[in-house]
Structure 1
Amino acid sequence: MKRRFFLTSSTTALISAAALPSGLWAQTTETGLPSGKTSFHPDYVETIAELAYFWGYPMVNMINRSMSLGSAPAPGTLGGVFPVSSPNRIGMLTDYIDPGQRSVACPNQDVVYGLGFQFLDQSPVVVQVPDFGDRFYVYAIYNHRTTQVGQVGAPYNTKPGMYLMVGPDCEGEIPEGMAGLIRWDTNLTMMIPRIFLNDTDEDRAAVQPLVNQVMVYPLQEYTGKMQTTDWTKAPDFPGDDSSGGETKWVMPETFFDQLPDVLDRVPALPGEEGLYAQFHALLEAAENDPEIKQAMINTVARVDAETIPDFLQWRYNGKPAGNNWNRSLNNAEWGLDYYNRVSTSRSNMFDNRPNETQYFYTDVDVDGEPLDGTTT
């Protein structure tokens, strides 16, 4: 069902538009589709279950993060160290991120972070971009596939102002006074502003008025004027686990209960129709036969225990760059690169796209010896 948003006679520049996949399922007929009523060989069940886990891991990850980090009572912080938000809003820090947080691995250490999840099937949202002057900033915005879409930030010479962000099912014209439109191809999105901060008291004071204007809110709260929030007074909520590694966001025991939601909410890219058909058939078979479902769970539990942890080793992320270093590949522009998408989803989810950031990784020195912090 199409959702209408506020109509005016205004016209404005399009800041970005995520191209919607065309012909999804349109060329597929009922003849030749895989069926969940098939008597599947156990090895085939395991193979498709493994593929589903590698393919769907990042998108289930997104759902579970959105239900935790994006569903707080109000925008604020988690355990005093990590930004969280209520739906269709954003939470902002006011200083560098605390290394004690465990919600996201490998954050930058020279920026002020924000974070918010948008549920665009609930409402379009307004995204405020202050006038940052010559200060570097970027709003990294990700669709449900964890692909970065849109061009908001200093690298794109984005004009200050208020932008309307809508999902794939919205139509109409944008309200008067807005600077542009951001259209997404999935309803679940996630935004992470990064605003450069010098490690000085003077720059901390200078950045605060800008940070206070970084806001996201539902369209019905749009007034035509920039709104502000004093983020130093944002509420703090308990719950961040700062005692170990990154929070575990994907559970093999419930993965196949969540996969149908992913298939419904994330349209297949061109060329993925057959993959979706295989997953649907496997889920149908699991619904009809508890033993098949248990075999699927056992398979992905093994993958989660034996393979997924290896993605914390940088040699399994990107491509070799020489001297035992690797560099990112297709970061945040995944397309059909399921391998690097899932490895990054485990190691350092929410990369910036290549024209914004190039990532170089290593766990060892030039001789292959593990880096342990004892030498410099």
Structure 2
Amino acid sequence: MSVLRTLAAFSLAASSIIATAPFTAAQSTDEDELLNLPTSAENIAAGLEADAYASGLLAYVWGYPLVRMERVARTYSDVPDPKPATSYRAPVNRIGWATSLATPDAKDMPTANNDTLYLSAVVDLGKEPYILHVPDTADRYYVVDVFDMWQNLEHYIGRRTTGTEAGDFALVPPGWEGALPAGITRLDVQTDKVWLWGRLRVSQGEPMEPLMKLQQGFTLRPLSQRDNKDFVAAPETLPKMPDTAGDPLGFYKQLAFALKSNAVPPQDAALFGQFARFGLTEQGFDDSKLTQPQRDALIRALKDGPKVAVSALSSAGTERNGWSWVRGLDDFGYMYPLRTLVAGPYLGGQGEKEAMYPLRSTDSKGEQLDGSKKYVIRFGKAPPVDAFWSLTVYNAADKMLIENPIQRYKLGADTQGLKVNADGSFEVPLQASKPDGDNAANWLPAPAGPFYIILRLYQPKDEVLSGNYDLPQIDPFQ
């Protein structure tokens, strides 16, 4: 029997029930659309399509971080040969370090900073905990974030939270009940894989050799090999994710694949149960029973999902003096659109106490920042932070750093030759061409086309967190 014939039969049966059921005045209300809606085949088909769209859209916004993290786990453990100095890729269960600051050629990470050397490690905890040892960094800023596979930032290890003395930290998977040796800090995580994402401060112009030696002091070993200094994790390749080429519903197949090794969080069980109506369950994604309108609705949901994520900048963000930023990047709660946005173009973002990331794409007139114009950024004083700050420009299209003739990819607390006035104020020319005048030393190069900027504030002080610090204005000029 065809789907439409089945719907017609259902409609006829429903109509007969309605015809014999009592109908009271209390039920007869012009405002209640459901009470007056015929159970026709047409309405049922439209309802299935609408339900597929709504459920599919929610599934994308909820599930994208898991898919993204599983993709990243495979990408960041696929080490190129030769490995670029800006790359932090490493095999599974090994630490990878960048040995050079990011440049426009570094394409792994959108919105990469030009302040720190990145660390990355994809850790499989399926057999036992792993021990991360960190060396004494002598108060040098560093942080290692522990992300689960849902892009939840579960733990910070670093200057702000655990200090900069040497230490050992155990990454403990769900359900592990063993004992840890004395002196090891236990960090329980919610998934059997985690992603370690670290940053090590580099001041402009300082030699890299001592930093590379410091990097070697960060080690990662399974608990059973904790004291084996010669241990090197055996090669491990993660199972391939489903190929989505040419498959407009491929995302749902990848989500179903990711759920095989990442249990639905208990607090999301009821939400996940709704997705069975379009074929997504713990057993996988079965699209064999979908009508064409349902398929079309799911495809449309996947196109609109990214827009819902981007809208989180408005619904979850704060705007002040033209700058936008969001709080709670280490505690998303039920803000699924925000979690998806961060997992995408802002992967690895941290909570506001560790770092704040005010973002701006418009000038003081509300117009898009564009390299065809010239701007000046006026700081009343340097941002108040306990670590350091920087201002970075990115192409609007690909979210990458800007190539420029002086190879300056950011301006910050360590910029050599930065001209600051006697009262602590300073101005930053923001334009594509080299400026003239007294503030030329403060030039921050911009691209030829649309761009945006991020003001990074590492370990911001209370003046920033409370909103009492006046973020700088960006004014166009000729």
Is the counterpart of residue 223 in structure 1 residue 227 in structure 2?
yes
Equivalences for residues 284-323 of structure 1 within 5 A: 290=288, 292=290, 298-306=296-304, 308=306, 315-316=313-314, 318-323=316-321
CA distance in 2 between counterparts of 1:140 and 1:77 reads 27
Determine which of 313, 323, 329 is the counterpart of 1:325: 323
Give the structure 1 partner of residue 146 of structure 2.
141
Task: State percent identity of aligned pairs.
Answer: 21
Describe the shift of the 1:312–1:199 C-alpha distance in structure 2 as closer, same or farther (beyond 3 A): farther
* Rg larger for: 2
Question: 1:348 and 1:289, CA in 2 relative to 1: closer, same or farther beyond 3 A?
Answer: closer
State the partner residue of 1:25.
Answer: none
Assess if the C-alpha contact under 8 Å between 1:128 and 1:226 holds in 2: no
Q: Secondary structure at the match of 1:163?
A: strand
Distance 1:332 1:301 in 2: 31
In structure 2, what is the equivalent of residue 119 of structure 1?
124
Q: Could you report, residue by residue, the CA deviation over 1:269-293 in whole angstroms, capped at 9, with x for unpaired residues?
A: 4542210211244325896652528
Match of 1:186 in 2: 191
The one-letter amino acid of 1:255's match is F
- SS of structure 2 residue aligned to 1:332: coil
- Quote the residue 1:12 is aligned against: none
In structure 1, the residue corresponding to 2:213 is in which secondary structure?
A: helix
CA separation of 1:79 and 1:205: change in aligned 2, threshold 3 A: closer
User: Using the alignment, how far apart are the partners of 1:333 and 1:172 within structure 2?
Assistant: 28
How high is the TM-score relative to the length of structure 1? 0.73
From 251, 258, 263, the counterpart of 1:255 = 251
Q: After superposing the two structures, state which structure 1 stretch, 52-61 or 347-356, moved more.
A: 347-356
Task: Please state which structure has a larger fraction of its residues in strand.
Answer: 2
Moved more, 291-300 or 254-263: 291-300
- 1:106 is paired with a residue whose SS is coil
TM-superposed CA distance for 1:126, in Å, is: 2.0
Quote the Cα distance in structure 2 between the aligned partners of 1:358 and 1:186: 27
1:314·1:363 contact (CA, 8 Å) conserved in 2?
A: no
Match of residue 268, structure 2, among 272, 296, 307: 272
In the alignment, which of 163, 167, 175 is matched to residue 173 of structure 2?
A: 167
Partner SS state of residue 118, structure 2? strand
Q: SS where residue 290 of structure 2 aligns?
A: helix
Output the amino acid matched with 1:335: G
Describe the shift of the 1:104–1:181 C-alpha distance in structure 2 as closer, same or farther (beyond 3 A): same
1:59 matched to 2:66? The reply is: yes
User: What amino acid sits opposite 1:107 in the alignment?
Assistant: A
Q: Distance in 2 between matches of 1:160 and 1:66?
A: 27
Q: Structure 1: 5+ residue runs without aligned partners? A: 1-37, 229-247
SS at match of 1:182: strand
Higher relative contact order structure (alpha carbons within 8 Å, sequence separation ≥ 6): 1
Q: CA deviation at 1:252?
A: 5.4
User: How far 1:198 moved relative to its partner?
Assistant: 0.7
Structure 2 unaligned regions, length at least 5: 1-43, 233-243, 375-429, 431-478
Alpha carbons 1:66, 1:117 under 8 Å: kept: yes
Equivalent pair of 1:92/1:211 in contact (CA under 8 Å):
yes
- Cα shift at 1:297: 5.6
TM alignment of 1:28-67, pairs within 5 A: 41-67=48-74
Shift of 1:47: 1.0
* CA distance in 1 between partners of 2:120 and 2:82 (Å): 10
Query: 1:156-211 deviations in whole A, cap 9, x for unaligned?
Result: 134413322121122211246x5322211111211111011111234x23322211
Contact 1:77 1:91 in 2 (8 A): no
